[in-house]
Amino acid sequence: MIEFVEVTSGLQFPEGPICMADGSVILVEIARGTLSRVTPDGRIDVIAETGGGPNGAAIGPDGKCYICNNGGFSWSREGPDGEYMRPTGPAPGYSNGWIERVDLDTGEVEVLYETCDGHPLQGPNDIVFDSDGGFWFTDLGKRHPRRIDLGGVYYARADSSEIREVVHPLITPNGIGLSPDGKRLYVAETEPARVLAWDVTAPGELRMDPWPAHGGGDVLAAPEGYQRYDSLAVEANGNICVATLIRGGITIISPDGSSVEHLGLPDPMTTNICFGGADLEKAFITLSATGRLVACDWPRPGAALAF
């Protein structure tokens, strides 16, 4: 079990944490429909009301915050005392998801992409920028009462000039990240609980292996037992740290997939992790079912993000 301190509580299904230079952590509250800032003393300030279901978030080359908005969920409370919150399906009136940009100074929200090649985005989920200034993101798809829309991996430009579908279909692709040198792309699929990897050959381009490779990528890890993978972050040494649902905690996978370690946390909806502090040796983790942001000393430094 990870030893942690609670930074704040009372969040409405937090996700997409970003460590800022001033010591605060920006994150989304999916159920609240906001981009929020958590100060070091635990105060929660709303930066912008996005509506829908803001999910993954990342700072772009212009200093603005780019958000994958899944279009919104419906929610239920679980546990003996209703202490756990979880998404159960599309929000009433759901139509599609989108990619949006938030000005952190003014709170202005601008929608950049809602479709790709004429197909509506279903549930954009997680996002990572490369050093070229473009961003990779996953579309989880959407779970309906009797079907699940298949998802994929996309690449887009921050100036809203280009979006392309790079990998499709995948089964509930969720977390996404780049190796420290930017030459490998990692994606975690939620329902199968597996991590995939591709070689990046150019901005927005991947080397695709032929069938029967799943999605043209390498399967790095697919642990047994009932667990589900969510968002991820990468350590400076290349390890992939995947937030793990149901089992609760962070699963650490070596770059070649030969080593898999799990560090537990007391929340079945441990959804995301980011690194901060002077040497990127402090981890901030979203415990979404219980609405908390926690922090801990991490055994190794995280990889620096592009922006």
Find the mean pLDDT for residues 285-290.
98
Domain-located, residue 292? no
Length of the chain, please?
307
Q: Give the pLDDT band of residue 93 (cuts 50, 70, 90).
A: very high
Find the mean pLDDT for residues 245-265.
97
Domain-located, residue 206? yes
* Alpha carbon 97 to chain centroid, angstroms: 15
Q: What is the pLDDT of residues 13-22, one digit of tens each?
A: 999 999 999 9
Domain-located, residue 259? no
Domain-located, residue 105? yes
Mean pLDDT of the chain: 97
Q: Give the pLDDT band of residue 34 (cuts 50, 70, 90).
A: very high
Predicted local distance difference test score (pLDDT) of residue 161: 97
Predicted local distance difference test score (pLDDT) of residue 52: 98
- Kindly state the DSSP code that residue 305 receives in the 8-state scheme: P
Predicted local distance difference test score (pLDDT) of residue 222: 95
Backbone angles phi, psi at 216, to 5 degrees: 75, 10
Q: Which active-site residues does the annotation give?
A: 230
Confirm or deny that 125 is annotated as ligand binding. yes
Count of domains for the chain: 1
Find the mean pLDDT for residues 258-273.
97
Confirm or deny that 237 is annotated as ligand binding. no
Regarding pTM above 0.95, the answer is yes
What's the CATH code of the domain at 44? Answer: 2.120.10.30
Domain-located, residue 243? no
Confirm or deny that 96 is annotated as ligand binding. no
Per-residue three-class SS string for 161-221: CCEEEEEEEECCEEEEEECCCCCEEEEEECCCCEEEEEEEEECCEECCCCCCCHHHCEEEE
Residue 52 contacts residue 70 (beta carbons within 8 Å): yes
Domain-located, residue 192? yes
State the residue range of the domain holding 89.
Answer: 17-224
Domain-located, residue 258? no
Q: Give the pLDDT band of residue 228 (cuts 50, 70, 90).
A: very high
Q: What is the pLDDT of residues 157-176, one digit of tens each?
A: 999 999 999 999 999 999 99
Residue 17 has which token pair?
């944490």
Domain-located, residue 267? no
Find the mean pLDDT for residues 2-6.
97
